Amino acid sequence: MTAIPPPAATAERAAAHPQRPVPSGRRGRPANPAVRASILAAALELFAEQGYDATSVNEVVVRAGVTKGALYHYFAAKEDLLYEIYRDHLDQQMADLGEILTSGHDPAAALHRVIENLVVTTITRLPVVTVFGRDMSRLAAERFAALQDDWRRYQEGVRGLIRAGQRDGTFARTTTPELASWMIFGFTNSLPLWYQPDGPLSPAGIAAELNSLVRAALDPNRPEGKEKQ
Amino acid sequence: MTAIPPPAATAERAAAHPQRPVPSGRRGRPANPAVRASILAAALELFAEQGYDATSVNEVVVRAGVTKGALYHYFAAKEDLLYEIYRDHLDQQMADLGEILTSGHDPAAALHRVIENLVVTTITRLPVVTVFGRDMSRLAAERFAALQDDWRRYQEGVRGLIRAGQRDGTFARTTTPELASWMIFGFTNSLPLWYQPDGPLSPAGIAAELNSLVRAALDPNRPEGKEKQ
DNA sequence: ATGGCCATACCGAGCGGTCGGTATTGACGC
DNA sequence: GCGTCAATACCGACCGCTCGGTATGGCCAT
């Protein structure tokens, strides 16, 4: 297989968010991780339902069953809730991608797995993806840029696979990796708009369908079509 | 060609927003259409840049070069700005679709034209599409539902074309019209994320590429592929 | 008895929207 | 063609309210 650059060390960044320092000789009441987690969960729900700006921190603490004091004890600002949600999501996505890219698959098989993973995790974490696409720009410029960088690297990973497949003849060269990748990402980004858990297709089934669409679109052995118009 | 239901009379609705009643005997200072237009234009710019909630009425009037009084003279509420922007856009899209559907093309040619039109108009009106996807849910329930209905009818028009093509053998039956349509809409919805006016591809070029991708994905004469994994 | 955890009361800023007032016009009697 | 009137166009100070965020202090495990 062709050389594909690994998508950076996300493990370090994960270590930059430790559960808590806990400096050996500790005093006072112990932290309650459930409080912090319930705040994040409530924020995610509400952000997905109403949007970031339309959700007040009061609504968040009410749904989480805590008070404002608790929220501002664990988070310095409302924006931090957004950032943490994104950070977790992107870290997982990047880790998944890295695992697939370093497993020695040929480009077609790797792309197949990436699409499968992307569709399934998107559906699993639909609220995050909803908020991600809509409210990411509400973060401060610096944080926004950092997340944007990761997301860009993810895209480049996918495009690298398409390019590699085009080089070795597995994929047609009739389209650019950019356009093809946006067909994939556009599809997954649209999942929050229409996916119904009780619909006829399972997440894996949707992934399979997208894979077959992509496979057909990139098929190099297609008979010469008579393009109309 | 198979029967395709026309997408409703949008002309009537357009008539429901006349330039102004003007009951013959008119008094007082004449309206200045430029003021109203500049308010809408400023609102669209700012909504696209920052989002609806993050944009204050004050910012709108400053950019439009008018005062708050002028804005609330022409619009009853901030929400009306959003609605008017959406209404115009959807009316045009529905009109375009209706024209293509009633022109007697076969399904493949009609789909080709719809995609071409959708891509080009999306790029032409990128700010509207950006706001449309992000902030449509900020409208009151009734208005939201009305727009959603139109947008649903647009989708059904496209799916009807795919279904018709599958019936007469032009398109492969390996995928559902729903999934295929979301590949198309997902792609166009993602245009605001990456389209650059000074990029290498023209709007028409992008439309052509998407058309060829869709054509390949729906090709019924594809040789049986050896699906891996 | 100390220090981290959290509840409560509260703050200033900024929000969408209003309202009394003024400027500007066309219609109309003359 | 000219003054008068009525209706519209617009101005900008202001209002009630909610927002994100903070200050303070009681509580409780260590």
Of A112, A209, A218, the CB nearest to B179: A209
- Return d(Cα A222, Cα B218) in angstroms, integer: 11
CB of A136 within 8 Å of a chain B CB? The answer is: no
For residue A27, what pLDDT band results from cuts at 50, 70 and 90? confident
Does residue B11 or residue A181 have the better pLDDT?
Answer: A181
B182/C28 CA-to-C1' distance in Å: 62
What's the confidence (pLDDT) of residue A9? 46
- pTM across the whole model: 0.88
- pLDDT tens sequence across A33-77: 888 999 999 999 999 999 999 999 999 999 999 999 999 999 999
CB of A49 within 8 Å of a chain B CB? The answer is: no
Which chain A positions have a beta carbon within 8 Å of B183's beta carbon? Answer: 183, 186-187, 210, 213
Q: CB of A28 under 7 A from strand D?
A: yes
Percentage with pLDDT > 90 across chain B = 81
- Return d(Cα A39, Cα A57) in angstroms, integer: 10
**Token output for B202:** 């023209």
CB of B113 within 8 Å of a chain A CB? The answer is: yes
Decide if pLDDT at A32 tops 90: no
Cα A209 to chain center, whole Å?
20
Q: CB of B57 under 7 A from strand C?
A: yes
A83/C18 CA-to-C1' distance in Å: 38
Decide if pLDDT at A16 tops 60: no
A193/D15 CA-to-C1' distance in Å: 40
B78/C24 CA-to-C1' distance in Å: 27
Query: Lowest-pLDDT range, A134-138, A186-190, B12-16, B205-209?
Result: B12-16
- pLDDT tens sequence across A169-220: 999 999 999 999 999 999 999 999 999 999 999 999 999 999 999 999 999 9
- pLDDT tens sequence across B83-110: 999 999 999 999 999 999 999 999 999 9
Strand C, nucleotides < 7 Å from a protein CB: these are: 2-10, 14-21, 23-28
Decide if pLDDT at A6 tops 60: no
Q: CB of A26 under 7 A from strand C?
A: yes
Percentage with pLDDT > 70 across chain B = 86
CB of B92 within 8 Å of a chain A CB? The answer is: no
**Token output for A102:** 């370093």
- pLDDT tens sequence across B186-226: 999 999 999 999 999 999 999 999 999 999 999 998 765 44
Q: CB of A206 under 7 A from strand C?
A: no
Record: contact A206-B54, CB cut-off 8 A:
no
What's the confidence (pLDDT) of residue B151? 97
